[in-house]
Amino acid sequence: RQTHEVVSFFMDRLDRTPLRSTCAIGGEPKQQQLDVVRRRGVHAVVATPGRFRDFLDSRAMNLQSCVYMCLDEGDRMLDLGF
């Protein structure tokens, strides 16, 4: 969540056109996280690896138009040997 707050802070200041982001993390309802993406679309998704993989595996999200990716808990992934 903290990573998403930092991303949102900078996105708010990057452009005159509002850029939208969403946070996709475990422990919170998946449907609410996906509703934001489906309803308004987003420019950035900040996600934990597990939740992001869930969304990709279920085809709820895809990477067709993805230019940049920010994975939250990247340090934890390195600790686990990814």
- Provide the CA 8 distance to its chain's centre, in angstroms: 11
Tell me the pLDDT tens digit for each residue of 16-52.
677 788 888 888 899 988 988 888 788 888 888 888 8
pLDDT of residue 74 exceeding 80: no
Q: Which two tokens stand for residue 45?
A: 């998704």
The percent of residues above 70 in pLDDT, for the chain, comes to: 82
pLDDT at 3: 72
Q: How many CA atoms lie within 13 A of 36 on its CB side?
A: 14
**CA-to-CA dists, residue 48 to 16, 17, 77, angstroms:** 28, 27, 10
